[in-house]
Amino acid sequence: MAHLGAPGTAGQSGPGATSPAVTDEVSVRALHSQSTVYQGRIWNVVSDTFSLTPGGAPLTRDYIAHPGAVAVVVLNEARQVLLLRQYRHPVQMNLWEVPAGLLDVEGEDFVVGAARELAEEADLEAAQWQVLTDFFNSPGSSSEAIRIYLARGITEVPEDRRHERTDEEAEIEFAWVDLEEAAAAVLAGHIHNPSAVVGILAAAQAARNDFAGLRPGGAPWPEHPSQRLQ
């Protein structure tokens, strides 16, 4: 059985092959040019020309330049997870999701952004924040990085401070679902939103060890593209 983080030789496979350290790493390649080919309301499409190796043939790739996002798996004392049902026009479906939103406030701390989204979408605040996992939503076509938090110690936002939800958000419906039931719904193909799928399965796994070992809410996120530019 391969051990994560054990040293080994990359490029080998088959019985008896050793395993490389299973850790994603930054790999900066020579960038020759970059241009914006489409400027949208929320994100742009950019075109990069780069080389994989020094002096290598140039390659051009178009992708979505995305500010990133945060999502929140909210658990109550009964270990029920909060799910939101919301219409998503590109797929023309009502999807069960977890609270989430864009990192579109310049200079905002990641966990502060998550708390803001939780208050705006679900009228809730949390006393305890931990990082469940980080992932790239579609790294072959987008720079979108998503951090999923676990939020516990839930209280309601006072009515005079609640966000007014409009458009698709005005139709949001809520449900508290047992965590294991939600995980089973993911595996049965009943939940499709990526943040919900990843977050629910991560929370179900973490719950097996009573959430021990999770990173604190303020843990660094060096893999987010904005952090690599600092």
Both tokens assigned to 164: 């007014």
Q: Check residues 163 and 35 and name the one with the higher pLDDT.
A: 35
Please give the backbone phi and psi of residue 136, each rounded to the nearest 5 degrees, phi first: -100, 130
Q: Is the pLDDT of residue 3 over 70?
A: no
Neighbours of 24 (CB within 10 A): 10
> Mean of the per-residue pLDDT values for the chain?
90
Q: Domains, the chain, ranges and CATH?
A: 32-65 (no CATH), 69-228 (3.90.79.10)
Share of the chain above pLDDT 70, in %: 90
Q: Tell me the torsion sign for CA atoms 33, 35, 37, 43.
A: positive
Q: Is the pLDDT of residue 201 over 90?
A: yes
| Residue from 67, 66, 35 nearest 50 by CA | 35
Q: Is the pLDDT of residue 10 over 60?
A: no
pLDDT of residue 11: 56
Q: Tell me the torsion sign for CA atoms 116, 87, 226, 24.
A: positive
pLDDT of residue 17: 65
| DSSP element (H, E) containing 166 | none
Distance, in Å, from the CA atom of 146 to the CA atom of 194, rounded to the nearest integer, reads 10
pLDDT of residue 160: 82
Average pLDDT over residues 26-34: 92
pLDDT of residue 19: 67
What residues are labeled active site?
Answer: 169
Cα-based angle 203, 206, 209 (whole degrees, multiple of 5): 150
Q: What is the pLDDT of residues 134-185, one digit of tens each?
A: 999 999 999 999 999 999 999 999 888 888 888 878 889 999 999 999 999 9
Average pLDDT over residues 55-82: 96
pLDDT of residue 16: 62
Share of the chain above pLDDT 90, in %: 73
Strand order, beta sheet including 173-178: 93-97, 80-88, 173-178
Is the separation of the CB atoms in 50 and 30 below 8 Å?
A: yes
Q: Worst-scoring range by mean pLDDT, 56-65, 103-112, 200-209?
A: 103-112
Q: What is the pLDDT of residues 69-127, one digit of tens each?
A: 999 999 999 999 999 999 999 999 999 999 999 998 888 899 999 999 999 999 999 99
End-to-end CA separation in angstroms for the chain:
39
Is the separation of the CB atoms in 146 and 137 below 8 Å?
A: yes
Q: Provide the whole-model pTM.
A: 0.88
